[in-house]
């Protein structure tokens, strides 16, 4: 086994000779506030997964960030009320920005960090070419967020991350979405009576969809033992 250290947003794994794999595991990797960086990372992962390969993704949750903000206020009040000394940096609230929070960006230890809603995760992954299998919460104890005491928060809903599992079913992610979006645009123009000729070619869309279906059938015909082995990873 070999280990490589690198930035997925600034490295081409194929050019580095990294072999395609069955499973990719990413823990708090897609947390950059820059959408282009997140897209680049996902593209890198997509192109280095085998057809039928799985991506396991752990990401911060928007709802959890809001819970932590409210819980921090209670934690500070509890410490002050009970004369419990804490470091000033731990007592200070995280800086907030309405513009950032509209984009799901909250600060963690002062660092702007992307957080996700369930629907946003699904949209991002499908746009990257993946098919969603499941999304579940991974819950944590409040002691992972604050220094003691935290037991008075035990009855509150806990902080959590999203654990998402998705599959790469084919290699045509850049063909079908583009053609389909042109079809939507063509319909819009026809309804508005525009004289502008859309770039859509129906044959192009049909070819893309046919190719996608062929890839799907090829994947489904894979030996049962091979599919089970990948699932067990």
**Number of independent structural domains in the chain:** 2
Given this model, what pLDDT does residue 72 score?
A: 97
Cβ(164)–Cβ(135) below 8 Å: yes
Given this model, what pLDDT does residue 26 score?
A: 94
Percent of the chain with pLDDT over 70: 70
Sign of CA dihedral 126, 129, 131, 132: negative
Given this model, what pLDDT does residue 210 score?
A: 52
State whether 188 and 137 are in the same domain: no
In the three-class reduction of DSSP (H, G, I as helix; E, B as strand; rest coil), residue 179 is classed as helix
State whether 64 and 80 are in the same domain: yes
Nearest by Cα to 127 from 164, 181, 165, 185: 181
The answer to whether residue 141 is domain-embedded is yes
pLDDT digits (tens, 9 = 90+) for 92-125: 999 999 999 999 999 999 999 999 999 999 999 9
Domain boundary among the residues 137, 152, 168 is at: 168
pLDDT digits (tens, 9 = 90+) for 148-179: 999 999 999 999 999 999 999 987 664 444 44
pLDDT band at 232 (very low <50, low <70, confident <90, very high): very low
Q: Which residues pair with 152 in a beta bridge?
A: none
**What CATH number did the domain enclosing 147 receive?**
3.40.50.150
State whether 161 and 181 are in the same domain: no
Q: Residue count of the chain, please give it.
A: 233
Instruction: Give the mean model confidence (pLDDT) for residues 122-134.
Output: 95
Cis peptide upstream of residue 98 (ω within 30 degrees of 0): no
Instruction: Give the mean model confidence (pLDDT) for residues 21-30.
Output: 93
Q: How far apart are CA 53 and CA 57, in angstroms?
A: 13
Q: Is the confidence at residue 228, as pLDDT, over 60?
A: no
Given this model, what pLDDT does residue 191 score?
A: 54
What domain range includes position 124? Answer: 21-168
Given this model, what pLDDT does residue 231 score?
A: 38
Instruction: Give the mean model confidence (pLDDT) for residues 139-147.
Output: 96
> Which helix (H) or strand (E) is 43 found in, with range?
helix 35-47
Given this model, what pLDDT does residue 99 score?
A: 97
The answer to whether residue 33 is domain-embedded is yes
The dihedrals phi and psi of 22, each to the nearest 5 degrees, come to: -90, -30
* Range name among 32-36, 74-78, 167-171, 219-223 with the lowest pLDDT average: 219-223
Given this model, what pLDDT does residue 12 score?
A: 76
Instruction: Give the mean model confidence (pLDDT) for residues 177-183.
Output: 46
Nearest by Cα to 230 from 83, 53, 108: 53
Q: Is the confidence at residue 213, as pLDDT, over 80?
A: no
Q: DSSP letter at 93?
A: P
């Amino acid at each position: 086994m070999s280990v490589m250290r690198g930035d997925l947003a600034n490295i081409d794994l194929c050019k580095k000779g990294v072999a395609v794999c069955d499973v990719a595991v990413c823990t708090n990797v897609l947390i950059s506030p820059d959408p282009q960086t997140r897209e680049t990372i996902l593209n890198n992962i997509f192109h280095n997964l085998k057809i039928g390969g799985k991506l396991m993704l752990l990401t911060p949750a928007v709802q959890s960030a809001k819970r932590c903000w409210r819980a921090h206020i209670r934690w500070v009040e509890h410490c002050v009320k009970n004369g419990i000394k804490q470091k000033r940096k731990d007592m200070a609230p995280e800086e907030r920005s309405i513009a950032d929070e509209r984009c799901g960006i909250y600060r963690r230890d002062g660092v702007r960090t992307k957080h996700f809603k369930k629907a946003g995760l699904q949209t991002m992954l499908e746009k990257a070419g993946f098919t969603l299998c499941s999304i579940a919460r991974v819950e944590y104890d409040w002691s992972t967020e604050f220094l003691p005491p935290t037991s008075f928060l035990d009855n509150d809903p806990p902080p959590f991350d999203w654990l998402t599992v998705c599959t790469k079913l084919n290699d045509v992610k850049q063909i079908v979405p583009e053609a389909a979006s042109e079809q939507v645009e063509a319909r819009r123009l026809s309804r508005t009576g525009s004289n502008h000729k859309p770039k859509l070619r129906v044959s192009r869309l049909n070819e893309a969809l046919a190719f996608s279906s062929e890839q799907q059938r090829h994947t489904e015909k894979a030996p049962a033992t091979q599919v089970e082995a990948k699932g067990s990873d």
